[in-house]
Amino acid sequence: MVNITINNKKIQVPEGTTILNAAKQAGIDIPVLCYHPDLDIKANCRICVVEVEGARTLQTACSTRVWEGMAVRTNTPKVRQARKIIVELILAGHEMDCTYCKRNNRCDLQKIAADLGIRENPFRHVERDLERDTSGPSLERNPNKCIKCGRCIQMCGKVQGLSLLDYAGRSDEVEIKPAFGKYLTDIACVACGQCAVVCPVAAITEKEDIDRVWEAINDPDKVVIVQTAPAVRVALGEEFGFEPGKVVTGKMVAALRALGFDKVFDTDFTADLTIIEEGNELLQRLSNGGVLPMLTSCSPGWINFIEQYYPELLPHVSTCKSPQQMFGALAKGYYAAKIGKRPEDIFSVSIMPCTAKKYEAQRPEMSVDGKNPDVDVVLTTRELAKMLRQAGINFDALEEEEYDAPFGLSTGAAVIFGATGGVMEAALRTVYEVVTGKTLPSLDFKDVRGLEGIKEATVDLNGTPVKVAVAHTLANARKLMELIKSGKADYAFIEIMCCPGGCIGGGGQPYGTTNEVRKKRIAAIYEADRDLPIRKSHENPAIKKLYEEFLGEPLGEKSHHLLHTHYNDRKA
C-alpha cells in the first residue's frame, strides 16, 4: 500500500493505482474524455490534469501512478483553468449544434462543459466542414464532432482486432477515419457499433430510424408489431435511471404498448426456435459427417466478419437465420395470414442491442415475399429509450405487462442468448436431452459463462464426449478461425458473439457500457433465466404448437424456406 494525500486528505491505495482511481477512492471525480476503463490509457485529451507536488508540469491523472508520499491537488486555480481552456479549445473545433445532436443530454463533452461552468467560448470557432459518412444502414460518422480521443481506434483495433479506424494527418487537421478516408460501407466494417458505444460524443452513432416507426404507428392501414431481443430487457432500465442489471421486461412491454404498437412480441420466442433448428442441424452434422465445428449464426456482426474475413469457413456456419430474422420471416410468412392480412400490411419492428441488426434486416435474402424486408425497421435500445422520451412515457411509473401470443411465450434458454455463452448453454440443454433421452441433472453450464475471451466445455452425449467452445469479440473469434484453418480445432460446436460480453454489450446498448456494467447485465440475464418456469427451448409449448400447426418438423421444408439462409463471400 502507498500513502498519498489528495487535496489534503490522506489515503492509502495499492501500489500502481493511478491518481484517477485513487481520487475516486477519496470521493473525488476527475473528468475524463479519452480515458475508458476497459481500454488502454492514452492521456491525449488532457482533461484529467492535476497538480502533483514537485512536478514541473500538470500531470494526467489517468496515466500517472501514485508513489509513496505523493501530494495531489485536483481543484486548484491552475487545474481549473487548464481544464476550462482545454474544453474551450475542443469546443472551438467541435460542431456546436448540441440541441439538434443525437447525443444531446447523453454527451460526455457536454456534461464536462456544463460541470466546468463554461458559459462562452473566448476562442474563435474553427469550421471544419468535413464530409459526413451516412453511407451505411447501421452507423454514421460525423468527423466534425470528433474530439480525437482515440477510444474508437482502440475498440476497433484492440478489442475487435479489425483496426479499421486510425489517426490520419497531423496538427489540427488530424482526423480519425478509415484508411484513405473511405466510407464505412467501402471497408470491411462489420457494423458492430462498438466504436459508437465508446465514443464520448456523436462522432460515430447509429443511424436513427425512429421516425419511420412513428410513421408506421400512425398509419391506420398497418399492423405494427414489435419484437424485443433478450439483451434489451436487462439494459433499457439504465436509460431511465435504474442501476445496470435491473430486469425491466414487464415495463418495457407496457411501454411498447403505450407507444402504440399493435402487438408486442418477444425475440426470445424465435431464440427458442433457433435452438430447435440449430440443435437439429448440429445433430444432423454430427451423424451425417457434416462440416464441423459448426458455428453459430445469431450475431450479425459476426456474420459480417466471417463473410468478409474468413469466407472459406462459411460452410461451418449454421444455416439458421438469427432469431430476429426468424421472427421477421414468421411475422410476414405465417402471422400475417393467421390474422388475415397480407405480408405488406404488417410493419415489423425489432428492438435490438445491436447496430449490425440494421444491416442484417436489409439484406435482400431476408424477405419472404422478395419485395419487402421481413423486419422493416431495427431500433437500438438507445433509440427505443429516445422514442419513450419523445412520447413522454414515464417508464418508472409503468405497470408491468405480458407479451402477446403467439410469439410471447419463451424459456430461460432463450433469455440467456443475450450473454456470451448463452446460445451454447441453451443448445446444450436441448441437445443433451434430445440425444440422451435423459433429463439434465443441472441446467447450468457454468464453464461457458462469464467474460473470459474463449471458453471451452465438454459434454458427454451417451458416452461420446462432445467438445464445444465459446468466444466473444472478433479478436477472439479470429483466434478460433485460425485454429479451425490449421485443423487443430477439435470442437463440434462453437458459439461466437461479435460484441464483448455478447449482446448485452452490443453496439446499440445504453452509453456507459463498461465491463463492470456488462457483468451486471449478464447477472441479470441469468437471474431472468432462473426465474422462468420453463428453461429449455424444446419444452416451450408455443414452439411445439408452431411445429404442429405450421412448420411440421425441424429442418423441414417450411423451415428451410423461412428459417434458414445462405451466406456470401464478401472478402475484398
Residue ranges binding other proteins (CB under 8 A)? 41-47, 49, 57-58, 60, 63-65, 78, 81-82, 85-86, 89-90, 92-93, 122-124, 126, 147-148, 167, 169-174
Which is nearer to other proteins, 60 or 194 (by Cβ)? Answer: 60
**Mapping DSSP to helix (H, G, I), strand (E, B) and coil, where does residue 339 land?**
coil
Just list the catalytic residues. 278, 281, 298, 318, 357, 360, 365, 503
Which is nearer to other proteins, 171 or 442 (by Cβ)? Answer: 171
Which is nearer to other proteins, 99 or 171 (by Cβ)? Answer: 171
- Cα distance between residue 271 and residue 198, in whole Å: 28
Which is nearer to other proteins, 114 or 174 (by Cβ)? Answer: 174
- Cα distance between residue 525 and residue 532, in whole Å: 11
Phi/psi-derived region of residue 181, left when phi > 0, alpha when psi is between -120 and 50, beta in every other case? left
Helix axes 323-330, 267-288, angle to 10 degrees: 110
Which is nearer to other proteins, 142 or 304 (by Cβ)? Answer: 142
- Cα distance between residue 439 and residue 461, in whole Å: 12
Peptide bond into 293 cis (omega under 30): yes
- Beta bridge mates, 294: 493
Peptide bond into 465 cis (omega under 30): no
Sheet arrangement for strand 9-13: 9-13, 2-6, 71-73, 49-52, 59-60
Shortest Cβ distance from residue 155 to other proteins (Å)?
A: 18
- Cα distance between residue 351 and residue 265, in whole Å: 10
Sheet arrangement for strand 346-352: 263-266, 223-228, 346-352, 377-380
- Beta bridge mates, 168: 175
Maximum Cα interatomic distance, the chain, rounded to a whole number of Å: 79
Sheet arrangement for strand 454-461: 294-295, 493-497, 464-472, 454-461
- Cα distance between residue 85 and residue 281, in whole Å: 61
**Count of alpha carbons within 13 Å of 254, Cβ hemisphere only?**
13
Which is nearer to other proteins, 122 or 465 (by Cβ)? Answer: 122
- Cα distance between residue 411 and residue 430, in whole Å: 12
Shortest Cβ distance from residue 41 to other proteins (Å)?
A: 7
Shortest Cβ distance from residue 74 to other proteins (Å)?
A: 14
Spatial CA neighbour of 505 closest among 484, 528, 525: 525
**Mapping DSSP to helix (H, G, I), strand (E, B) and coil, where does residue 295 land?**
strand
Which is nearer to other proteins, 51 or 266 (by Cβ)? Answer: 51
∠ CA 428-433-435 to the nearest 5 degrees? Answer: 95
Provide the 8-state DSSP code for 185: G
Which is nearer to other proteins, 122 or 533 (by Cβ)? Answer: 122
- Cα distance between residue 565 and residue 495, in whole Å: 18
Task: Give all strands (DSSP E) within 17-99, no chain letters.
Answer: 49-52, 59-60, 71-73
Which is nearer to other proteins, 78 or 560 (by Cβ)? Answer: 78
- Cα distance between residue 283 and residue 464, in whole Å: 13
Q: Are 547 and 393 in contact (CB under 8 A)?
A: no
In terms of DSSP bridges, do strands 263-266 and 2-6 run parallel, antiparallel, or are they unpaired? unpaired
Which is nearer to other proteins, 56 or 371 (by Cβ)? Answer: 56
- Cα distance between residue 428 and residue 465, in whole Å: 13
